[in-house]
């Protein structure tokens, strides 16, 4: 059964150099799980909820393209700047916090630079969601 995602959950991106992880930071809300703030599907704001990954190697990233061109074609990773305008998908529509579906560890978030952000550890293992 999927687990509810809370503050300090571990995330990964398909274009993070070497699969380096990052941390999820949900927007503060009064309802907690395992004494940590719950995540909901609209916690998708770069630098606020989505902490940048160390380095990006997406071939769709303009900075990666420019750096690679400057390095005479040698793929050159650049600092990550997530672009995540859409909510996490699919969410848990039958478990709501402030009328917003909660986030579980099967949800993913699409970055407009081509990467897919996923939850690799929900930061708690005692609260499952249907």
In a domain, 2, yes or no: no
In a domain, 69, yes or no: yes
- Mean pLDDT of the region 65-76: 89
In a domain, 18, yes or no: yes
Ramachandran bin of 67, using left for φ above 0, alpha for ψ from -120 to 50, beta for the remaining angles: alpha
pLDDT reported for residue 100: 96
Give the residue from 62, 57, 50 showing the smallest Cα distance to 88: 50
In a domain, 64, yes or no: yes
Q: Range of 52's domain?
A: 10-121
pLDDT reported for residue 75: 87
Distance CA 25, CA 30 (A): 15
Count the domains in the chain: 1
In a domain, 81, yes or no: yes
Residues 10-25 have pLDDT tens digits of: 999 999 988 899 999 9
pLDDT reported for residue 74: 87
In a domain, 29, yes or no: yes
Residues 71-122 have pLDDT tens digits of: 988 889 999 999 999 999 999 999 999 999 999 999 999 999 999 999 999 9
In a domain, 51, yes or no: yes
Side-chain half-sphere exposure of 88, counting CA atoms within 13 A? 29
In a domain, 82, yes or no: yes
pLDDT reported for residue 18: 86
Whole-model pTM? 0.93
């Amino acid at each position: 059964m999927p687990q509810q995602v809370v503050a300090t959950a571990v995330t990964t991106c398909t274009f993070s150099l070497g699969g380096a992880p990052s941390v999820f930071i949900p927007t503060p809300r009064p309802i907690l799980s395992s004494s940590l703030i719950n995540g909901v599907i609209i916690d998708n704001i770069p630098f606020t909820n989505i902490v940048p990954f160390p380095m990006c190697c997406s071939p769709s990233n303009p900075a990666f393209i420019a750096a690679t061109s400057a390095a005479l074609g040698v793929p050159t990773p650049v600092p990550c700047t997530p672009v995540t305008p859409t909510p996490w998908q699919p969410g848990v529509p039958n478990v709501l916090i402030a009328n917003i579906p909660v986030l579980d560890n099967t949800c993913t978030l699409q970055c407009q630079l081509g990467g897919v952000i996923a939850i690799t550890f929900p930061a708690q293992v005692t609260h499952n969601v249907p």
